[in-house]
Structure 1
Amino acid sequence: MNSTGEYVQEKVSPPIDWITKFYNFLQSFRDSSGVFKYRERIFRMAHMLQKSLIVDFSDLIVYDRSLARHLEDEPDQALEEFSQAIMNYLRKEQPEYAERVGKVYARIRQPPRVLKIRELTSDYIGRLVAIEGIVTRVTRVEAKLVKAHFIHIRPDGVIDEFDYPEHGEMGERIEKPVVCPVCGKPGKFELVLEKSKFVDWQKIVVQERPEEIPPGQIPRSLEVVVTGDLVDAARPGDRALVVGVLRVMPTQASQKATGRSVFSFYIDANYIEVQQKVLEEIEITREDEDKIKELAKDPWIREKIILSIAPSIYGYYDIKEAIALLLFGGVPKIMQDGTRIRGDIHVLLVGDPGTAKSQLLQYTARIAPRGLYTSGKGSTAAGLTATVLRDKNTGEYYLEAGAMVIADGGVAAIDEIDKMREEDRSAIHEALEQQTVSIAKAGIVARLNARASVLAAGNPKFGRYDLTQPISKNIDLPPTILSRFDLIFVIQDIPHIEKDRRLARHILGVHSDAEKARPFIDPQLLKKYISYARKYVRPQLTPEAMKLIEEFYVAMRKSGLKNEDVKSTPPIAITPRQLEGLIRLAEAHAKMALKDKVSIEDVEEAIRLMYTTLRKVGFDIESKTLDIDVLETGVSRSKREKMKEFSRFLNEVFEQTPEIEMSQLVKMARDKGFEKEFVYEMIQYFKSIGEIYEPKPGRLSKTY
């Protein structure tokens, strides 16, 4: 009604023809170089017989904001219209392919905003969203019914055949028509599976990234339904960006208890992008890159990085340097035959209680661009590697990734590694050296990547570290695991007046003023610096550096030959495993300064660090020589010779008498020069392997 009181008909704007708008976008959008981007992509799609066209969301924003807004707010309708526009274009340009393919899909990537899983609320239901996380579970591929073919038999025997629904696709449950669309009458409809249309269907579970979980919170996960050519796009352990429509489905509780109106979220995936195993999740801007390059010019950059690691913890310069090298890592190599040589550095800390080992581990997990902290006490083999579980609803088996797989491409900090059960510890053998996790259970045979550096810590077996005993006696870990660590540090709490005074002053200073523990480099900038180095810096060994490593290796091997009887086996000071570790440490040292060449300076520092640790853990107390067998096998060369002598002595004793008192055997062995503790240890050892046994308590006999 106007001012004069007359009724005036309002002008109604005509409905927008979205299909035409999407069609025009495909036909006329040009990129910055002037190329018709989507004409090229559609031609390539038809040529390669693909069903999906990947569209960059940023291009829609540049071309027409209303298209982008329509896609974000009403994705179901918009994606259907977009698919129809692609099909119209194909019918015009590629009619043969259009007739053959039947249906095509528009896949949207590069959304303007990526949400965290815990940011998804009911406000986003029915809208296009994007989330990022780690794929922890993948179900098997199944077929989903999208268009059912029904037959209807009339009372007069005439058979009607029709597809249902006529337009669009079927929902989650099988829907039957109320009346026959051919004759218009109700009746009994029979589903013909052979003539129905199906699409590949799979469900995956995406979990929050470890670095996004607030302290003290349980990581949240979200189910994602993938269909068509998206199935098997991601494996457990992959970091994936999922674009799709947020939907809801009834929870188990609401299905069982009628009347409950509780629903759970899931995403109907439109596109899945699996990130490559580089640190993509940390965004490095041009400004950050300038700061990083400026930092690298500092001649004292390495010292500043080392002193920026756990600044609240006093001392431990060598350990902090080892952690810095572990964070940067060496350069992984892939041979032409597919063999992979790891670039990740593994470090083990063995020390007395109260020496801040756990603090060092937790700081490392926080500062690492992709870090994960776990305790050996609360970890199982399945939790560390991978496991096969059974779905309660469907009864099917699925694969779930563990901590080592989730930490792929980053750092796994394992505290209290000595408290783990034996069967759980053995599960990380493969992850440490081969950097994969193999699993074969319930018909599922899989091999997952676990390319993570491991920083582990453990306490000595008897409370405090005993320097008179080899490392294999001090820590409750098998030599097979100990030998896989590049560097092993022994931390002892020994009273020293001046050192204790400085430590006390440092701790008191930190407690009175937290600013005193401020690092040289801001933690966020250091995180980006490490990420940048791992992603872009690939230092190569110079001829001079290679020569120095070669000379050190040969000199160490030669040291075992000095003053040794030619007939006996000489002690081995170093093996090729340590040689590869030396190369990794030298490469990581070069990476710390963003150098592209490994110089003599880098090799010298790597040799110093390795020699420092070998002198402590690879030293044979009896022969006073460096013997790597102490670490590799748990038995030094001198002890192995002594064991052979005792074995010969036992054989001589049992040749003379078939049965002997244990006390008498000990006395005879001591007369031959064997220590009492050694004799009891050997008797126990030979009993465990079944060479001797006790026919009566206190008496020994040889097993024949």
Structure 2
Amino acid sequence: MTESEEKVVNVDDAIQGFRDFIEGDEKYVDEINNMIIQRRKSLVIDFHDLLLRNKDLADMLIERPQLAIQAASEAVRQAVTERDPELAKSIKNFYARFKRLPETVPIRKLRSEVLGKLIMVEGIVTRQTPPKHYLKKTVFRCSECGFELEIPQPTTSFVQPPRKCPKCGATNSFVLVEERSELIDWQKIIVQEKPEELPPGQLPRNIEAILLDDLVDTVKPGDRVYLVGIMNLDIAQLRKNKPPILSSFMEVNYVEGQQREFVEIEITPEDERRILEIARSPNVRERIIKSIAPSIYGMENIKEAIACLLFGGVPKVYPDGIRVRGDIHILLVGDPGMAKTQLLRFVAKIAPRAVYTTGKGSSAAGLTAAVVREKDTGEFYLEAGALVLADTGVAVIDELDKMDAKDRVAIHEALEQQTVSIAKAGIVATLNARASVLAAANPAFGRYLPNRTVAENVDLPVTLLSRFDLIFIIRDEPSMERDRAIAEHIVTLHAGEVPESFSDIIPPELLRKYIAYARKHIKPVLTPEARERIVQFYVQMRNKSREPGSPIAITARQLEALIRLAEAEARMRLSPVVEAEDADKAIRLFMSYLSSVGIDVESGKIDIDVIMTGKPRSSQERLALVMDILSRLEEANGGKPVRVEDLYKEAEGAGLDRQFVDKALNMLVKSGDVYMPRPGYVKRVVV
């Protein structure tokens, strides 16, 4: 036996080594005192400190973790007992927990060689069982003679006393003595690898992890965590006449949730220097917009909007406790072959945290949260969906129009309230889904028809459309000059040459770090000048609606969107304040959205009702007139159905043409306000 192996085996030396380490460092002496004041069970030790002070103990911890953790926990118990014997008596178990191991092992790379070793993994908690109770020490008593039998911490899943009492010989007489047995809390979580680390075309891998005692309920589904623990084999799976194939699980020693407000991307001092250098350049905003999908020609407005989505606004909590989102939602509606999916794929790759999904391949449960039955116990537990996993990141949804209507409803709450509420199988929960949503949809008629409203063109409910901050129409219109430029751009790319659009762009990896840095450190505040510009624009737009019969051009919901866009424009420059220039850029972007989507195609005026209700103001008034005429005719007819021909005649007298009446009847039948009891007759639905 070598000298190093002797050191490993000697437990007393290990306990003394940990005692010396704890008592010799003022930081850990203070921590022990805090433990006593707060009546905590665990002392968290930084592995780097242990490595610097005692390399032998650090090596022992990695190679023989069960022994080392047991020795360190005993050292913590002794340190507490010396200072407060009463507390040590009332709390039976004290723990030494270790954080910041030298390297993180990817879940995909967990193999047999890590079994029995102390490792650190990183991932997302997708499932969690309710807390249960684990028998650490079991005491049985013979009901005949009172003989007590103590069984220490079981190594298998079965704890059974002998069939016959060794003292009196009675059979099956042992009963569990709960008050003498030692029970601790137990919980199982499933940790899945992060979506951004998932290789293309692969299913995400996960591991089972066991949390004990004070670690129980410290994390929840959707949390990104670092776990430090020992990989063990599930011995209970060994069965007679079955092949000896076992699965592994992690016995967790320490769990740490990542901060949810920003994404942990490692930014070195060199990266920070380059980021600040980019921010100082006068054309930083133009460079960032150029760097968004440079392989796609043109679309400057859309790329600027996507840049705003990636940087995001600042979430706020009002004094009355109401939270207002800072995330920007964008919908792209366009003709086929206009590179919508390519744009979405780029965003999924460049965003520091992103989850990509398509409408056809997603269900309501897959997007929000599912209630799953545990295979071993049969109990139900929560599994986080795509919007929850994208928390504080970007949820990219392609083919939104192909999603089933019943599944689409699930996105409503996530878009505005940024939470996912679930009530299934006795589980009532609310999870965070603070994600920006970038979605794409195809027009219902194959191509976008300019003479129809956006609600008629897209097969989406207006309640969903109104929650997007910006909606962009991408139309495929022939243009000699533009078509030549696009063709030359694509041909140059296919020839393996670098087009002009790639000059002066920020490399994708650096842009990703730039976005993460901005989201973490920059929280821009509106200057008085920027406030005045936004207020002036809002009042100006509202003034247009003051005349009787005029459409409403803008509402408070759009005002909040405008503020978010202005904050995102400031964040692009890493500016701590939103200046008038940022507000002007946001207003210009917003006007391009209103002038393409929020236009009443008949009157040519900007009308926000086109997006908010699906029907422009002019159409709403004439629709109400059709309902009034139908109501009058019904009364005159004694409440019986009205002939459609009679409705045409009356409507023509009121200045409405036959074509509009047909269109109105179709809309009213669709909305359930009228019905046709027989061909050629209509009747109102009276509630």
Bin for the TM-score computed over the shorter chain? over 0.9
TM superposition shift of 1:195: 2.6
Give the 3 Å change call, closer, same or farther, for CA 654–291 of structure 1 in structure 2. Answer: same
TM superposition shift of 1:393: 2.6
Q: Is the 8 A contact 1:386 1:401 kept in 2?
A: yes
TM superposition shift of 1:479: 1.1
Q: Is the 8 A contact 2:629 2:650 kept in 1?
A: no
CA distance in 2, matches of 1:251, 1:427: 40
Report the equivalent of 2:21. 25
1:62 to 40, 52, 58: 52
Which stretch shows the higher mean deviation, 512-521 or 585-594? 512-521
**1:318-346, Cα deviation, whole Å (9 max, x unpaired):** 11111111000011112333321111111
Give the 3 Å change call, closer, same or farther, for CA 280–357 of structure 1 in structure 2. Answer: closer
Tell me whether 1:684 sits opposite 2:680 in the alignment.
no
Amino acid at match of 2:382: L
Tell me whether 1:364 sits opposite 2:347 in the alignment.
yes
Report the equivalent of 2:196. 211
User: 1:44-443, aligned counterparts within 5 Å?
Assistant: 44-152=34-142, 158-165=145-152, 169-176=153-160, 189-249=174-234, 258-443=241-426
Report the equivalent of 1:601. 581
Consecutive unaligned residues of structure 2, counting only runs of 5 or more, are none
TM superposition shift of 1:692: 4.2
Report the equivalent of 1:665. 647
CA distance in 2, matches of 1:182, 1:497: 98
Tell me whether 1:541 sits opposite 2:526 in the alignment.
yes
TM superposition shift of 1:701: 4.1
Q: Percent identity?
A: 48
Amino acid at match of 1:652: R
Report the equivalent of 1:465. 448
CA distance in 2, matches of 1:393, 1:510: 54
TM superposition shift of 1:650: 1.5
1:531 to 494, 516, 529: 516
Amino acid at match of 2:14: W
CA distance in 1, matches of 2:429, 2:685: 43
TM superposition shift of 1:247: 1.1
Amino acid at match of 2:47: F
User: 1:416-565, aligned counterparts within 5 Å?
Assistant: 416-513=399-496, 515-516=498-499, 518=502, 520-561=505-546, 564-565=547-548
Give the 3 Å change call, closer, same or farther, for CA 487–126 of structure 1 in structure 2. Answer: same
Amino acid at match of 1:571: P
TM superposition shift of 1:184: 12
TM superposition shift of 1:12: 11
Q: Is the 8 A contact 1:133 1:208 kept in 2?
A: yes
TM superposition shift of 1:276: 1.2
CA distance in 2, matches of 1:147, 1:117: 32
TM superposition shift of 1:625: 1.2
Give the 3 Å change call, closer, same or farther, for CA 666–230 of structure 1 in structure 2. Answer: same
Q: Is the 8 A contact 1:152 1:187 kept in 2?
A: no
Q: Is the 8 A contact 1:146 1:171 kept in 2?
A: no
TM superposition shift of 1:600: 0.7
Give the 3 Å change call, closer, same or farther, for CA 413–615 of structure 1 in structure 2. Answer: same
TM superposition shift of 1:651: 2.2
TM superposition shift of 1:623: 2.2
Q: Is the 8 A contact 2:642 2:681 kept in 1?
A: yes
Normalised TM-score (structure 1): 0.92
CA distance in 2, matches of 1:346, 1:433: 9
2:598 to 608, 618, 621: 618
For the aligned residues, what is the CA RMSD? 2.3
Give the 3 Å change call, closer, same or farther, for CA 367–618 of structure 1 in structure 2. Answer: same
Normalised TM-score (structure 2): 0.94
CA distance in 1, matches of 2:571, 2:136: 53
Q: Is the 8 A contact 2:630 2:642 kept in 1?
A: no
TM superposition shift of 1:502: 0.5
2:31 to 41, 55, 65: 41
Give the 3 Å change call, closer, same or farther, for CA 227–310 of structure 1 in structure 2. Answer: same
CA distance in 2, matches of 1:699, 1:542: 61
TM superposition shift of 1:260: 1.3
TM superposition shift of 1:376: 0.7
CA distance in 2, matches of 1:515, 1:496: 24
TM superposition shift of 1:93: 2.0
CA distance in 2, matches of 1:538, 1:11: 53
Q: How many residues align?
A: 676
